[in-house]
Amino acid sequence: MNQITVNTSRPYDILIGEGLLGRTGEYVRRVSKCRKAAVITDDIVASYYLDEVEASLKREGLETCAHVFPNGEASKRHATLLDVYEFLTQNQLTRSDLIVALGGGVVGDLAGFAAATYLRGIDFVQIPTTFLAQIDSSVGGKTAVDTPHGKNLVGAFHQPILVLCDLDALSTLPEENFKDGVGEAIKYGMIKDARLFELLRSGACKEHLLDVVTTCIDIKRAVVENDELDRGERMLLNFGHTVGHAVENYMGYQLTHGKCVGVGMAVISKAAAEAGIGDREVYTAVVEALKAYDMPYALDIDYDAALNACLSDKKRDKDEIRCILIRKIGEGYVYTMKASDFKPFALKGVK
Ligand SMILES: NC(=O)c1ccc[n+]([C@@H]2O[C@H](COP(=O)([O-])OP(=O)(O)OC[C@H]3O[C@@H](n4cnc5c(N)ncnc54)[C@H](O)[C@@H]3O)[C@@H](O)[C@H]2O)c1
Ligand SMILES: [Zn+2]
């Protein structure tokens, strides 16, 4: 088992290994004296793991209650959140009790936001069960729900008191969901870690899961510690994301996030090479890595129309766009350009 301590305003540990779900109670007891744990999860994750987690908490003398909502991004909204508040109130959760977020990024973001706001904030533990949630959404303390106007528009920074990344949970994760995590893992390699990138490019992600998950978490840890509230270095994590979000939005969220980010990384790397500010090897390396997992790197879509969505992207500051480019594999940097230059620049990457 590996352990990473995240030194944010409120430090916490992330444990990464096998067989952790069945020991949830023991690990929770080390960090909390709570009387009651409210497990929040979705229907698919509940069917696999809820009994095991609740039984483990009970063995340590904790009272438990569970709230299960339908899986999928559509649940990450206020109506579900209100149900969660209702559930917490009915079960008389107090400020000294605990929320356990058991599931992917949707559960983590929603249960985390409930924890950030219920009674002005109570403790929560993240048990991420998707590859993406383990390496990305469960680290960094961002919690949110979507509104009809867009994703993650209402949220809060609220750090968990503990994160348990059980690699065994990934054995039930569908391949297509796994690929979303691969997109983000490739991103981490490109911006910070050439060794990780080469391991991923070789197609051996699953054979080295403990290494990959630990390395990705450690990269996010370092970035988040330097920039907890997302005002500077954390922007590096947006490599591939401006175009990725535009594609995701344009496709009506039919192509999932990590795959859109993959396409975004390919497009922006090619654009940089075409514009003479990037190495073509970076582009070919991104494409090779994506191909190794049978992930898309170019789409037959109207990028011009898709990119118009970027102009309202929240990463745009005044009339500038901060675009993340790659100096060499393992080294991302922020390249600032005029907002009006971004679309013509990015379109160089799709010809
Ligand atoms: N907070 C952050 O910093 C941050 C970062 C990145 C993404 N996110 C958010 O994360 C969300 C996406 O997360 P996600 O990709 O984990 O999606 P998700 O939570 O919707 O999970 C994907 C699917 O996998 C199922 N699932 C989860 N674990 C499983 C398992 N072990 N076995 C079988 N099925 C399982 C879920 O029921 C769901 O159907 C988005 O809402 C995104 O905005 C947040
Ligand atoms: Zn992402």
Number of domains into which the chain is organized: 2
Among protein residues, the one with the nearest Cα to ligand 1's atom 44 is 137
**Claim to verify: residue 261 and residue 309 sit in the same structural domain:** yes
Residue 190, domain extent: 177-227+237-350
Q: What are the tens digits of pLDDT across the range 178-232? A: 999 999 999 999 999 999 999 999 999 999 999 999 999 999 999 989 887 777 7
- Would 232 be classed as within a structural domain? no
Our answer on whether the CB atom of 173 is closer than 6 Å to any ligand 1 atom is yes
Among protein residues, the one with the nearest Cα to ligand 1's atom 2 is 137
Q: Which residues neighbour 18 within 8 Å (Cβ) at sequence distance 6 or greater? A: 1, 166, 167, 168
Domain closes at, from 172, 189, 206:
172
State the pLDDT at residue 314.
Answer: 47
Position 351 confidence tier, pLDDT thresholds 50, 70, 90: confident
**Claim to verify: residue 158 and residue 184 sit in the same structural domain:** no
323 membership: H or E segment, kind and range: strand 320-328
Q: How far is the CA of 341 from the centre of ligand 1 (A)?
A: 34
Q: How far is the CA of 183 from the centre of ligand 2 (A)?
A: 8
Q: What are the tens digits of pLDDT across the range 232-246? A: 788 999 999 999 999
Q: How far is residue 34's CA from residue 62's CA, in Å, rounded to a whole number?
A: 8
Using alpha carbons, select from 251, 230, 222, 247 the residue that is nearest to residue 322. 230
Q: What are the tens digits of pLDDT across the range 93-140? A: 999 999 999 999 999 999 999 999 999 999 999 999 999 999 999 999
**Claim to verify: residue 188 and residue 307 sit in the same structural domain:** yes
Among protein residues, the one with the nearest Cα to ligand 1's atom 7 is 137
Q: Residue 96 maps to which CATH number?
A: 3.40.50.1970
Q: What are the tens digits of pLDDT across the range 243-302? A: 999 999 999 989 999 999 999 999 999 999 999 999 999 999 999 999 999 999 999 999
Our answer on whether the CB atom of 152 is closer than 6 Å to any ligand 1 atom is yes
**Claim to verify: residue 154 and residue 217 sit in the same structural domain:** no
Proportion of the chain above pLDDT 90, given as a percent? 89
Kindly write down the DSSP assignment for every residue of 296-319, as one continuous string.
-S---S-HHHHHHGGGG-TTEETT
